[in-house]
Amino acid sequence: MNIASLNKVGNYKLLLLILPLCYLLLPNNNQTLDSWGYASYVKYGEGLFQAHHLIYNWFMYHLKLFPGLNNSLDTMKFMQFINGLFSIFSLLFLYLTLLNTNNCKNKSLSWTILVGCTFSLLRYGTENETYILPIFFSIIASYFLSLYFKQTSELKWLFFSGLAAAISCLFHQIHFFWWLAILLGLFIFSTENRIKKSILFLLPAIVVPVTYGLVIRYSLEKELELNNILSYVFEYYYSENADTEFGAINLIMTPISFFRTFYQVHGNIINLILAKPVLSACSFTLSSYFFYKFLFPLKLRSKFNTNNLFTNIHLLAFLLQFGFAFYSHGNAEFMVMLPFLMAIFLSDMFTISNNKLISLALSMLIWNLSFAIFPNHFYNYHNNQEIIKVINAYPDKKFILEERQKINLQYRYEYDEDISERIFFKMDIVNKKETGVFYTDILTKKTPFNRGSITLNNNTNLNYTVIRSVENIQSFYGNYSVDEIMIK
């Protein structure tokens, strides 16, 4: 098999073996701040209900207690494995959904493989984040909806679709828009029995307020008063972490994040190229070659039927999800579901050869494995574990850390101890005008250009004197030290 033939329909099924292995065997070993937080909650059985993604921790905690599972399993790795598994399940139900709508196995398989090679799914399918499980239930909702349109007399599928869509909202509130699109589609675009169809879909949604009510009453032990309900349900949007406003940042980050949904874009790519220039050049060449094969000549034939309710619903869902992601400063995390929605409506709107789709899939897969998934798994970018050892060795010292929040959560995961009272950001020290002796990594620790470099203002200066170097740490981004300093 030569390179030029990899995108032929007769050979691309090799990807059906490669993709599951990527999701299951290449977990990210440079976990995010949120990943450490979720893993800590599940490991110690605390904070199992979080308003923005209500039952994610609860589900993982009870799944880990399932009879036959080894309780000594590393919680982080277990949760990453479950996300990988549900990524595969999501792709399976996407394939079945597409098959119900177009009755063509190769076409459905090509679009499914394409989605499986996108960076957003590979990224979160190998991470411990909250975005995969709701996609699984949302795509099941679409699958049941496709069964309804395939078997129009089977109204039960509308009920099951509504139940799956409601459950997806319990795993993450962002999937409200997928649920809303189906409801609006059934009510607005249906030509007959619109009220009956809408009610059948809407009925199972009662599970959402009931679940939130039970959590507020029995977990938080608060009265079911309107103020308590609203403040909890919309807790994230009331917090300082919510990026929900309009400005130049929306226009800058939205196109970047949308492109990044398909191809990895990050400042650390420069580090990766410098570390492995030959391999990087080969990956860039191969990815570009397959993208060229996809693009030239690209023959699209429109076949969009404006009366196709199933397609219209998923186009509406895409517009609603994308619109909210734009409103949230172009948040890439709120775009993870977009490739699934695009596969559903684009596969109906346009005719494109399977070989072209597989060429694009190969281009994305080669790029994303080379510049994200492989490095995330095999490299230790910052080696924060060594900083944690230093913190543990000096329990009476205060620290100024570049990644203060992540290290606090990682330390809590390792030692079941919150050290937030003795570790600080640089700007915390400046704002509070703290003085005295601190240990810090900010003098020499290197961080590549990223989203935070655009959205955060870290231009603060300290007046300090270096006393000594406490520990030298090796990492992929470069060696750095933990230093003892005196702030005046």
User: What residue segments make up the domains of the chain, in order of their start?
Assistant: 3-378, 384-487
Side-chain half-sphere exposure of 79, counting CA atoms within 13 A: 29
Residue with tokens 């800058």: 252
Do residues 342 and 114 touch, judged by C-beta distance below 8 A? no
Q: How many residues does the chain have?
A: 488
For residues 148 and 168, give the distance between their C-alpha atoms in angstroms, rounded to a whole number. Answer: 19
Average pLDDT over residues 130-153: 94
Question: Which of 151-160, 161-170, 392-401, 436-445 is predicted least confidently?
Answer: 151-160
Nearest Cα residue to 275 out of 190, 378, 189: 378
pLDDT tier at 300 (50, 70, 90 boundaries)?
A: confident
Residue 277 DSSP one-character state: H
Which residues share a beta bridge with 86? none
Residue 54 near residue 212 (C-beta atoms within 8 A): yes
Chain segment 106-118, per-residue pLDDT in tens: 999 999 999 999 9
What is the rounded distance in angstroms from the CA atom of residue 324 to the CA atom of residue 326? Answer: 5
- Measured CA to CA, the distance from residue 272 to residue 277 in angstroms comes to 8
Read off the pLDDT band of 1 (50, 70, 90).
very low
Q: What is the pTM of this model?
A: 0.93
Closest CA to 262 of 334, 338, 324: 338
Can you give the pLDDT at residue 5?
56
Confidence of residue 241 (pLDDT cuts 50, 70, 90): low
165-177, pLDDT tens digit by residue? 999 999 999 999 9
Q: What is the pLDDT of residues 342-351, one digit of tens each?
A: 999 999 999 8
Strand pairing report for 399-400 and 436-440: parallel
| pLDDT (0 to 100) of residue 456 | 47
Per the CB < 8 A criterion, the answer to whether 334 and 242 are in contact is no
In the chain, what is the straight-line distance between the N-terminal and C-terminal CA atoms, in Å? 67
